[in-house]
Structure 1
Amino acid sequence: MRLEDALFNWLQIQIVSAARPDDGAAADTLSFFAQILIEDHQVSHFEIAKTDDTMIHLKYEKDGRSKLQLFPRESAEQLLADIESNPKYN
């Protein structure tokens, strides 16, 4: 899995996990993608640094350097919207 894909997947499930704190599957999936970032890509200290009207700013460290990756907010929040719109998960 490419680093950008792993960051995006972590971001999507982080948004879901924050909105659904009692969702054990979301928490497990969040841990899974965190593990991929740490073990496969040697990324550390990843966090949502800022959210504005159109973008989510994801800050992380790799190779001792601080980096910033921007993702479209609508795309990042789509998984949560899909889950919330499906009565099976509510």
Structure 2
Amino acid sequence: MYKYTFAPQVDMLEIEASFLLAVLATESLHGESQVRLEAKHAMDVDRRTCVIDAGNLVGRDLNSLFVKFVGREFGEDAFTVREVPVS
């Protein structure tokens, strides 16, 4: 699992839009039903965080696409990412 935390200057509506774009791109690779079943995630706009479970291929692809889209649009300094141990 990867937890993203976004800087205060980053518009969270834009982060959500980037996430939806990453979901659509992941659906093109794996199909809508596989993404619905396997792409576990949680977005918390108030806390400015997003968690993506990258424990399977679909989740890893979603994670890779999301980090690329966000990094490209907002810059690498707009967020931090850390691995969260699964309990």
TM-score bucket of the superposed structures, by smaller chain: 0.3 to 0.5
Higher relative contact order (CA 8 A, sep 6+): 2
So what's the TM-score if we normalise by structure 1?
0.34
The higher radius of gyration belongs to: 1
More strand by share: 1
So what's the TM-score if we normalise by structure 2?
0.35
